[in-house]
């Protein structure tokens, strides 16, 4: 594998097949530092929950009008890798917990609320 600043290339081998791999950076997400969080381009983040047939990808973007926001949620068919449906959201969306987000919260100073932790249901009475 050859890795550069914004691209990587190489070969994938499974014992029988050799396939070329060419990756191009299309976006970045920086969630550390004084100006965090920042997104350049479009970043897709896998969601914690999935169904038997679909994985969920949160689509994040920043713009002058709207700071970091989840602008869409893609339902990706696990069997064929195709996007079966995409939900579009307005500015300010993005309250769906991802694995990365949950890990960040667990390392922070305050513990996340129960309803922000993947796999936990909110307590009654909230």
Residue 37 lies in a domain: yes
Q: Return d(Cα 13, Cα 20) in angstroms, integer.
A: 9
Residue 82 lies in a domain: yes
At 123 the pLDDT is 43
Residue 45 lies in a domain: yes
Band of the pLDDT at 36, cuts 50, 70, 90?
A: low
- How many domains is the chain partitioned into structurally? 1
Q: Return d(Cα 26, Cα 28) in angstroms, integer.
A: 7
98 closest CA partner among 116, 113, 83: 116
Residue 40 lies in a domain: yes
- Structure tokens, 77: 């068919």
Q: How far is CA 16 from the centre of its chain?
A: 32
Q: Return d(Cα 113, Cα 118) in angstroms, integer.
A: 11
Residue 18 lies in a domain: no
Please determine, for residue 16, whether its predicted confidence score (pLDDT) is greater than 70: yes
At 107 the pLDDT is 58
Residue 118 lies in a domain: no
- Pair 50, 56: CB distance under 8 Å: yes
Using one digit for the tens of pLDDT, what is the confidence trace for 68-89? Answer: 788 888 999 989 989 999 999 8
């Amino acid at each position: 594998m050859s890795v550069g600043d914004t691209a990587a290339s190489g070969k994938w081998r499974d014992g029988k097949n050799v396939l070329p791999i060419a990756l191009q950076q299309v976006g970045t997400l920086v969630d550390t530092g004084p100006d965090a969080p920042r997104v350049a381009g479009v970043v897709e983040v896998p969601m914690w929950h999935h169904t038997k047939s679909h994985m969920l990808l949160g689509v994040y973007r920043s713009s002058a009008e709207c700071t970091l926001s989840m602008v869409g949620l893609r339902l990706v068919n696990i069997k064929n890798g195709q996007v079966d449906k995409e939900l579009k959201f307005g500015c300010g969306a993005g309250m769906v917990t991802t694995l990365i987000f949950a890990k960040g919260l667990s390392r922070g100073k305050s513990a996340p609320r129960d309803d922000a932790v993947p796999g936990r249901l909110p307590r009654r009475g909230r």
